[in-house]
Amino acid sequence: MVGCQLVSANLVCARETALHPRTLVAIDMATARFVTLYDPNPEFGHVRLGSVERLSWTDRDGVETYGDLVLPPSHRLGQKHPLIVVQYLSRGFLRGGIGDEYPIQLFAAHGFAVLSVQMPGNAANVDAETDFNERQRLRARNWSWRRRAFTALDAGVDAAIAKGVIEADSIGITGMSDGSSTVQFALINSSRFKAASVSTCCDDPSNLFTVGPSFAASTRAWRYPAAGDQARDFWKPQSLALNADSIRTPLLMQLPDGEFRAASETFASLQSHGAPVEMFVFPDERHTKNHPAHRLAIYARNVSWFDFWLLGQDHPELARPEDLARWVIMRATLPSRRLGS
C-alpha cells in the first residue's frame, strides 16, 4: 500500500501485489476490508502468470535479505528450470527489476525460473556514518559493498537451488546501476553464471575521465586512485577490462547514449580478448530508458539472449536474424573460462 489518504471512514490507497500491478482501493477502517475503486489494467487478470514464492536467507557473513522465486506457469512437480537473477529491489509488483528491462513474467513464460533479489542493507559501520563521502569511502574500501551485495545474492541463488527446481549449471544474471556493478563483480569472482545482461556499465579506471569531471571529483572524495595512477590492485576485483583475458561469460550490454562511454574500456578489452560481448546504444536516453520502442526492443533482446545461451535455442522466436547470426559465431568460437588468471 502506498500514497494512502483518509477519505471519510475509508483509507484510499494505491495497492499492488507481486502478481498484479497497481490499483486504487478503499479500505474500511472498521473492518480492514477493501474494495477496488479503479483498476487501470483490468485485462491483466486474464494473463497466465508464473507462481511466486518469497524466500529469505542468511549468507556466510550473517547478512540477511530476501527475494521472490518465480516459476514458469507451466511448471510441474519434479521439473527443473534455468534461472535468471533480476536485481535489486523486490517489492510490490514483480515487473522487470530496477529500470524495468528484465521482464520477469515473460522470462517465466519462456521456461525460466526467476529470482528477484532484494539487496541487503549496509554494514553497521556504514549506517552509523552520517557523512555521505565517508559512507562512500567505507563502501569502496576493498570493494566491501560489492562483496556484500554479491555474497548475499549468491546465497539467494543457493536458496533457490535448494528448492529443487533449478538447473544449477544454467544460471544467468542481470542488473542495472548498482545491480550492474554486482554483475561485474560476479563475472570476475565467480564461475557460476553462464550468461549476463546489463543496462549500465562499467566500473573501470577510465571512468575517472570518460564519465566527466564531476564524477572524477566525487571519486577523489571517496579515495579512489587518481586518473593515471598505476592502481591495478585497487581495480582488479571489479574491473572487467582488467580481467578481460579470463572473462568468458556471454555479456549483453544495452546502454543509454548518455552513459555508454563508461563502458568503452570494458567493451574494447573484452572484444580484443575474444570474449562474447554485445553492446547496443539507445539514443536520447539517460540512466533509466523511457522510450517505449526502446523498452520493447530491450525486452525482446534480453529474452532472446537468455533463450539462446541458457535454453540452447538456436532460433529464439524474438531474436533478430542479424543478432542471432553473431551469437552463433560467438558460441562456436567461445574460448574456455580461466577464472583468476
Q: Are 237 and 268 in contact (CB under 8 A)?
A: no
DSSP-derived 3-state class of residue 3: strand
Residue 63, judged by CB atoms within 10 A of its CB (0-12, 13-18, 19+), counts as middle
Q: C-alpha cell of 150?
A: 554479491
What is the fold, at CATH topology level, of the domain defined by 49-332?
A: Rossmann fold (3.40.50)
Are 167 and 80 in contact by the 8 Å Cβ rule? The answer is yes
Determine the Cα–Cα distance for residues 119 and 87; give it in Å rounded to an integer: 7
Please give the pLDDT value at position 336.
57
What was the pLDDT predicted at 9? 85
Q: Which of 251, 299, 256 is nearest to 271 (CA)?
A: 251
pLDDT at position 335: 67
Q: What is the dihedral of CA 309, 148, 259, 233, to 10 degrees?
A: -100
Distance in angstroms (rounded) separating the CA atoms of residues 338 and 243: 10
Query: At which residue does the C-alpha cell 489518504 appear?
Result: 5
Beta-carbon count within 10 A of 232 CB: 11
Q: What angle do CA 182, 332, 304 make, to 5 degrees?
A: 55
Question: Buried b vs exposed e over 199-228: b needs ≥16 C-beta within 10 Å?
Answer: bbbbbbbbbbebbeeeebeebeebebbeee
Quick one: how far is CA 160 from the chain centroid? 16
pLDDT tens digits for 21-32? 999 999 998 888
What's the rounded Cα separation, in Å, for the pair 156 and 151? 9
**Mode of pairing for the β-strands spanning 20-28 and 34-38:** antiparallel
User: pLDDT digits over 113-171, tens only?
Assistant: 999 999 999 999 999 999 999 999 999 999 999 999 999 999 999 999 999 999 999 99
Catalytic center residues = 177, 259, 287
The domain locations on the chain are 1-47, 49-332
Q: What SS3 class is residue 1? A: coil
In the chain, which residues have pLDDT < 70?
Answer: 335-341
Taking CB atoms within 8 Å and a gap of at least 24, the contacts of 120-123 are 120/59, 120/63, 120/64, 120/65, 120/148, 120/149, 120/152, 121/65, 123/148
Single-letter amino acid code for the residue at 122: N
Q: Would you give the DSSP letter of residue 226? A: P
d(CA 304, CA 201): 20
* 3, 14 contact by CB (below 8 A): yes
